[in-house]
């Protein structure tokens, strides 16, 4: 199966290269035959990468330790559920996985555009398969997952298979790890498609409304998946790493945040182009930046140039990615420069106080966030290059720089939708802003005087959350009230119909509401409490209003790990509450320990208990307890963002009607050409 | 008494005072400061996390660093002095944020400079967008009668609904 996979990989490279060339030729010559050929190459690319992926999974599932990759990342005792993630747990497999996801995306793009966007599609195929060629080449040439183990003998080399593999990294043996990397990768990879559409629009000079409409949807999907991947990554860190947090400003985390932030800026500024025909060059810059950062993120996570908690090994792919990034930047900026004349704004700004300005300032803040995160992430490399001094840039830096930026962004999240397009009068500002501002102010006063929230940033954050929430609820309420008057509907049907009539707008508000919940959850970190104690039978530990009593410890063994479990009887406010079982695991194949957190969650707070280990002198368990307020709101916020984006992706009634008209028109043109 | 000697006495007095105050810290206070410091330095074992978050409870590097911090605090050293001690032992990379001096200043300044340049550019763009609109409006617009605020608001609302 190693050979089958290797053949699949080289065939995928051949198809990608062929499709890239034929796509470009089809675009240049406007040849339908060449386009057909390029489309078939996409199919071949997909089929061959699928063959390679299936081959690798087969090798993993059958414990074929002749494969260097399987021996390195899997073991016989690894549960079936965790054999699938082996595919993306190592450098070679994850690059293959990247390539395979790209082949799916390109395949879907071709399928959905069989009868649409005919002028754009040749270059879309050429560019996306250009990316595919690069990834296939790197996977085949530099990080091939189908290498076999061999032993050197007197007569040459002989195939070799160890009796068992090293096993999967214990930290990856967690349920959200099954979904987190695929989501993240779907996000990273997916940005290749809007980039391809944007470049194709530039090359074909098809810079009307169409490309922006198509690109917006193709950007929303990876943006949503990347965001979901980031939240799932946070959940994994929270449950597995044992320090009671979900975000540590690690370079790999930052790498995922960068394209998400740039994509967020694009999804906002694209609206100005759609509504007002402005910011055309800027939108191109943003989509180029988003794709560039997604490749940069892959480079950062996979090259090992920056030390990270994700502990990826140093590898040879760094120079390859550097060259590829340079090609992307040079190609896209050249094409953009050559088409500047076609990207002139259709309109002018009527007023500084308008929705357009709101979006512009939103872009300003988002780009400032990109710059701050990017600069902080790469600063250790810059410092090493300039001063030959190794420095670390961690949470204290990012918290100091990013919290004010985040608060500004939160304010604009609430203020933007309250501004009218074109021009907002003073009276309108007064009418729209009064209730949310009062709500935010009252919330601030209440929190300061009655809840005892005195930290400036926490107070600001929660007050702004109240302001934004009030502005969103106000938008739904005003819209529903209008419908109740005009259509004589009850409140809830009015809200439903209002939302479905303009899914994009109201889906966007729901996304904003999810962001508010996320900020509430993050603000909860200000009230975090933690304590640690060595505990033996009968020992007590007090953590705020919880009292933990050590009941006992059990040891045992599962298929791939040994464990020690502590039983802690917990009373809350003096009443028996629950029994918690933090566990320490020791994975046999990889010889690595891992703490299994005991967690009790509700909407107010999490009780998070870790058995960090045992004291070598006394044998007592090291018990670490964290009372973590409002963490659940981070996950709920992430879920609301996801639901809001799905809603915004559903075509509204008006859009469906418009799409039908377009389809009829296109069919009429087709029929005319056929006759 | 010469001024320099007076100053020296003053500095000595202040230092002794600081040490005395620091030495008088309760164990709970020392715990809290140790926790704060643990969040400001990285564990150098290679785990790539702050000392407070090093995942290995038996990490020998973490144990050594914890010991240095504890001893220093019990000797009455200030937080800054403890951090300096750690830098002397492990190099500048031990700090979780680069100290704002020399080239490191750029790490702290650049995001703010970027923010300001961005704001300047945004204002510039808005002004550029706005100017032709104002020019186009010209004197003719000044001749148009003022619109009633209620009418304007109603039109804005309608426009907002239409545009969204």
CA distance A473 to A467: 10
CA distance A515 to A410: 8
Total CB pairs under 8 A between chain A and B: 155
A396: nearest CB among B40, B132, B161: B40
Q: How confident is the model at residue B140 (pLDDT cuts 50, 70, 90)?
A: very low
Residue B97 pLDDT greater than 80, yes or no: yes
A358-392 tens-digit pLDDT:
888 899 999 999 999 999 999 998 998 998 888 98
- Is the Cβ of B17 closer than 8 Å to some Cβ of chain A? no
Contact A252, A300 (CB under 8 A): yes
Chain B residue at shortest CA distance from A504: B164
B156: nearest CB among A393, A420, A622: A420
Q: Do B133 and A348 touch (CB under 8 A)?
A: yes
Q: Can you read off the two tokens belonging to residue A68?
A: 């260097």
- Is the Cβ of B100 closer than 8 Å to some Cβ of chain A? no
Q: Do B153 and A431 touch (CB under 8 A)?
A: yes
pLDDT number for residue B13: 53
The residue with tokens 């002397």 is B88
CA distance A171 to A239: 10
A530-558 tens-digit pLDDT:
898 999 999 999 999 999 999 999 999 98
Chain A, window 499-538: residues with a beta carbon less than 8 angstroms from a chain B beta carbon: 502, 505
- Give B19→chain A minimum CA distance, Å: 27
pLDDT number for residue B141: 40
DSSP A353-417: SSHHHHHHHHHHHHHHHHHHHHHHHHHHHHHHHHH-------HHHHHHHHHHHHHHHHHHHHHGG
Q: How confident is the model at residue A27 (pLDDT cuts 50, 70, 90)?
A: very high
- Give B43→chain A minimum CA distance, Å: 11
Contact A123, A19 (CB under 8 A): no
Residue A154 pLDDT greater than 90, yes or no: no
- The CA-based angle A651-A653-A658, given to 5 degrees, is 80
> Which positions in chain B touch A368 (Cβ < 8 Å)?
111, 114-115, 118
Residue A606 pLDDT greater than 90, yes or no: yes
Listed ranges A2-6, A355-359, B69-73, B123-127; the one with the highest mean pLDDT: B69-73
A486-535 tens-digit pLDDT:
888 899 999 999 999 889 999 999 999 999 999 999 999 999 998 989 99
Mean pLDDT of A270-290: 90
Containing B15, the helix (H) or strand (E) segment is helix B3-23
Chain A, window 220-249: residues with a beta carbon less than 8 angstroms from a chain B beta carbon: 241-243, 245, 248
Residue A589 pLDDT greater than 80, yes or no: no
- The CA-based angle B33-A540-B35, given to 5 degrees, is 10
B93: nearest CB among A392, A395, A423: A392
B15-64 tens-digit pLDDT:
544 554 555 678 888 888 998 999 999 998 888 788 988 877 778 899 89
A336-351 tens-digit pLDDT:
999 998 888 777 777 7
> Which positions in chain B touch A275 (Cβ < 8 Å)?
163
B98: nearest CB among A308, A386, A391: A391
> Which positions in chain B touch A654 (Cβ < 8 Å)?
none
CA distance A420 to A34: 48
Contact A466, A443 (CB under 8 A): yes
Q: Do A423 and B156 touch (CB under 8 A)?
A: yes
Contact A400, B97 (CB under 8 A): yes
Contact A145, A69 (CB under 8 A): yes
Task: Provide the pairing of β-strand A598-601 with A605-614.
Answer: antiparallel
A394-418 tens-digit pLDDT:
999 999 999 999 999 999 999 988 8
Chain A residue at shortest CA distance from B31: A531
Mean pLDDT of A13-40: 95
A119-150 tens-digit pLDDT:
899 999 999 999 999 999 999 999 999 999 98
pLDDT number for residue B160: 58
A216-256 tens-digit pLDDT:
999 999 999 999 999 999 999 999 888 899 999 998 899 99
Burial of A510-533, coded b for 16+ CB within 10 Å and e otherwise, reads: bbbbbbbbbbbbbbbbbbbebebb
Chain A, window 254-283: residues with a beta carbon less than 8 angstroms from a chain B beta carbon: 275, 278
- Is the Cβ of B16 closer than 8 Å to some Cβ of chain A? no
- Is the Cβ of A487 closer than 8 Å to some Cβ of chain B? no
pLDDT number for residue A150: 85
Percent of chain A with pLDDT over 90: 66
Chain A residue at shortest CA distance from B149: A427
CA distance A292 to A367: 14
A421: nearest CB among B118, B129, B159: B159
pLDDT number for residue A329: 97
Q: How confident is the model at residue A577 (pLDDT cuts 50, 70, 90)?
A: very high
A522-531 tens-digit pLDDT:
999 999 998 9
Contact A608, A531 (CB under 8 A): no
Mean pLDDT of A85-102: 93
> Which positions in chain A touch B110 (Cβ < 8 Å)?
371, 375
CA distance A524 to A441: 19
Q: Do B92 and A389 touch (CB under 8 A)?
A: yes
């Amino acid at each position: 199966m190693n050979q089958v996979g290797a053949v699949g990989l080289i065939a995928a490279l051949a198809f990608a290269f062929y499709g890239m060339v034929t796509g470009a030729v089809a675009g240049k010559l406007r040849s339908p035959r060449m386009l057909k050929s390029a489309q078939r190459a996409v199919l071949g690319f997909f089929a061959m990468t699928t063959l390679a992926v299936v081959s690798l999974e087969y090798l993993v599932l059958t414990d074929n330790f002749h494969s260097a990759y399987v021996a390195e990342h899997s073991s016989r005792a690894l549960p079936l559920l965790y054999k699938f993630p082996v595919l993306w747990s190592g450098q070679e497999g994850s690059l293959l996985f990247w390539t395979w996801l790209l082949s799916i995306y390109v395949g879907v793009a071709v399928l959905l555009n069989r009868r649409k966007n005919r002028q754009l599609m040749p270059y879309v195929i050429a560019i996306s398969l250009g990316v595919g060629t690069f990834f296939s080449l790197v996977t085949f040439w530099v990080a091939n997952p189908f290498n076999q183990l061999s032993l050197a003998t007197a007569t040459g080399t002989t195939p070799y298979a160890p009796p068992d593999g090293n096993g999967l990294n214990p930290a990856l043996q967690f349920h959200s790890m099954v979904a987190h990397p695929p989501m993240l990768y779907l996000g990273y990879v997916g940005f290749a498609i809007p980039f391809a559409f944007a470049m194709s629009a530039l090359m074909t000079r098809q810079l009307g409304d169409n490309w922006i409409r198509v690109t917006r949807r193709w950007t929303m999907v990876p943006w949503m998946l990347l965001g979901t991947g980031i939240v799932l990554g946070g959940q994994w860190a929270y449950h597995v790493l044992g320090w009671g947090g979900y975000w540590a400003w690690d370079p790999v985390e930052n790498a995922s945040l960068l394209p998400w932030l740039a994509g967020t800026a694009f999804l906002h500024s694209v609206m100005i182009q759609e509504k007002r025909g402005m910011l055309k060059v800027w939108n191109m810059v943003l989509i180029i930046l988003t794709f560039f950062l997604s490749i940069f993120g892959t480079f950062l996570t996979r090259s090992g140039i920056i030390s990270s908690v994700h502990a990826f090994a140093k590898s040879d792919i760094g120079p390859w990615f550097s060259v590829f990034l340079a090609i992307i930047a040079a190609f896209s900026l050249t094409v953009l420069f050559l088409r500047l004349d076609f990207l002139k704004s259709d309109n002018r700004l009527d007023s500084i106080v308008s929705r357009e300005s709101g979006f512009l300032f939103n872009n300003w803040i988002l780009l400032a966030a990109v710059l701050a995160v990017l600069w902080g992430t790469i600063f250790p490399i810059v410092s090493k290059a300039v001063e030959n001094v190794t420095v670390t840039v961690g949470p204290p830096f990012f918290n100091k720089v990013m919290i004010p930026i985040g608060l500004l962004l939160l304010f604009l999240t609430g203020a933007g939708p309250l501004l009218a397009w074109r021009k907002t009068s003073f009276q309108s500002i007064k009418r729209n802003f009064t209730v949310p501002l009062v709500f935010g102010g009252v919330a601030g006063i209440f929190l300061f005087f009655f809840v005892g929230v005195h930290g400036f940033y926490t107070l600001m954050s929660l007050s702004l959350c109240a302001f934004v929430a009030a502005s969103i609820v106000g938008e739904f309420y005003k819209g529903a009230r209008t419908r109740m008057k005009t259509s004589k509907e009850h409140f809830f049907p009015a809200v439903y119909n209002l939302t479905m009539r303009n899914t994009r707008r109201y889906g966007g508000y729901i996304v904003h509401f999810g962001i508010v919940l996320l900020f509430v959850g993050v603000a909860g970190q200000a009230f975090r409490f933690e304590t640690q104690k060595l505990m033996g039978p009968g020992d007590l530990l007090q953590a705020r209003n919880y009292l933990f009593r050590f009941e006992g410890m059990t040891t045992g063994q599962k298929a791939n790990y040994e464990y020690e479990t502590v039983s802690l009887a917990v009373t809350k406010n003096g009443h028996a509450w629950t029994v918690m079982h933090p566990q320490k695991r020791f994975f046999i194949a990889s010889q690595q320990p891992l703490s299994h957190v005991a967690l009790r969650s509700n909407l107010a707070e999490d009780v998070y208990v870790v058995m960090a280990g045992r004291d070598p002198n006394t044998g007592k368990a090291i018990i670490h307890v964290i009372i973590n307020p409002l963490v659940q709101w981070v996950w709920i916020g992430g879920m609301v963002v996801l639901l809001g984006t799905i809603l915004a992706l559903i075509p509204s009634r008006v859009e469906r009607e418009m799409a039908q008209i377009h389809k009829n028109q296109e069919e009429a043109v087709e029929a005319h050409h056929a006759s | 008494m010469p001024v320099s000697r007076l100053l020296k006495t003053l500095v000595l007095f202040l230092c002794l005072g600081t040490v005395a105050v620091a030495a008088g810290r309760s164990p709970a206070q020392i715990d809290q400061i140790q926790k704060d410091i643990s969040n400001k330095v990285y564990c150098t074992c290679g785990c790539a996390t702050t000392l407070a978050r090093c995942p290995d409870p038996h990490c020998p590097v973490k144990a050594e660093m914890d010991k240095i911090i504890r001893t220093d605090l019990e000797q009455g050293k200030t937080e800054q002095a403890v951090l300096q001690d750690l830098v002397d032992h492990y190099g500048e990379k031990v700090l979780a944020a680069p100290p704002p001096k020399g080239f490191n200043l750029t790490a702290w300044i650049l995001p703010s400079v970027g923010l300001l340049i961005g704001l300047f550019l945004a204002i510039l763009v808005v002004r550029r967008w706005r100017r032709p609109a104002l020019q186009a409006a010209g004197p003719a617009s000044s001749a148009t009668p003022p619109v009633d605020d209620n009418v304007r608001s109603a039109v804005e609302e309608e426009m907002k609904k239409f545009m969204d």
